[in-house]
Amino acid sequence: MPTATTKGYLQLDRIPSEPIAPLISRRLVAGEKGMLVFWSMKAGAHAAAHHHPHEQIFWVLKGTMDFRLGDEKRTCRAGDMGVIPGGVEHEAWFPEDTEVLDVFSPPREDFLAGGPPAYMRKG
Amino acid sequence: MPTATTKGYLQLDRIPSEPIAPLISRRLVAGEKGMLVFWSMKAGAHAAAHHHPHEQIFWVLKGTMDFRLGDEKRTCRAGDMGVIPGGVEHEAWFPEDTEVLDVFSPPREDFLAGGPPAYMRKG
């Protein structure tokens, strides 16, 4: 489900939710320079270790995300955030149903093209 | 109150809230490439017409924001969003207490330096 870069007004609940893996779906809002990704993770979801050149800032909206940023592990809950510079390896586990907003700068080209990244295929 | 670019873990409710105008305060989370700004606007706040080269994506979290994007006005409530390309004039009015997240790419250098932008001094 390719997603276009957007301009103007949007409503989050009208953005199609794209199934990514059995336990993972996402909604995308992409500008030319930044991208917001609203993740819905079901209990048991896992984003395997990965890194990318894009800067990523996460904000946990609901639930629990066990996160590894480089070699520092933390349990993150609603209101917890993180700034992941480009190139830094990270990994995430979701022991319960969880919602997270990721902000990527620049936008993830692979997400605009649609489909799961390799590190989420097992979901 | 200058704010440093950040790396690693953060908690939103531990980020200092910076008073910007009598009716406006904000919390900043800044990476090198993107910045999240959590605005708390009191009823009656106004961000006067302005534009900047930074791309801006807004997400209304709570309350009501009457927004003008170019020549298109809309009343935005929780879940409403907008993608404002760099250079496009916009203006916002807050008829009730309202919370909005703005994502700027690249980060607003003037916000990192601290203090109100000219278009918010009357708040």
Write down the ipTM of this complex.
Answer: 0.95
pLDDT of residue A2: 57
**Structure tokens given for A62:** 């609901």
pLDDT for A1 equals 53
For B71, phi and psi rounded to 5 degrees? -110, 20
One-letter identity of residue B74: R
Print the SS3 string covering A101-112: EEEEECCCHHHH
Mean of the pLDDT values across residues B17-40?
A: 97
**Mean pLDDT across A42-47:** 98
pLDDT average, residue stretch B59-85: 98
Six token digits for residue B6: 């950040």
Can you spell out the DSSP letters for A38-92?
EEEE-TTEEEEEE--SSEEEEEEEESEEEEEETTEEEEEETTEEEEE-TT--EEE
Residue with tokens 């907003």: A101
- Looking at residues A86-91, what average pLDDT do you find? 98
Contacts of A8 in chain B (CB under 8 A): 69, 72, 82-83
- In this predicted model, what pLDDT tens digit does every residue of A76-86 receive, in sequence order? 999 999 999 99
Q: Is B92 on the interface with A (CB under 8 A)?
A: no
Does the CB of B82 have a partner CB in chain A at under 8 Å?
Answer: yes
Neighbouring C-beta atoms of residue A22, cutoff 10 Å: 12
Q: B interface mutation test: which of A11, A36, A58 has the most B CBs within 10 A?
A: A36
Residue B122 binned pLDDT confidence (cut-offs 50, 70, 90) = confident
Distance separating alpha carbons of residues A50 and A29, to the nearest angstrom: 22
Beta bridge pairs of residue B90: B50, B69
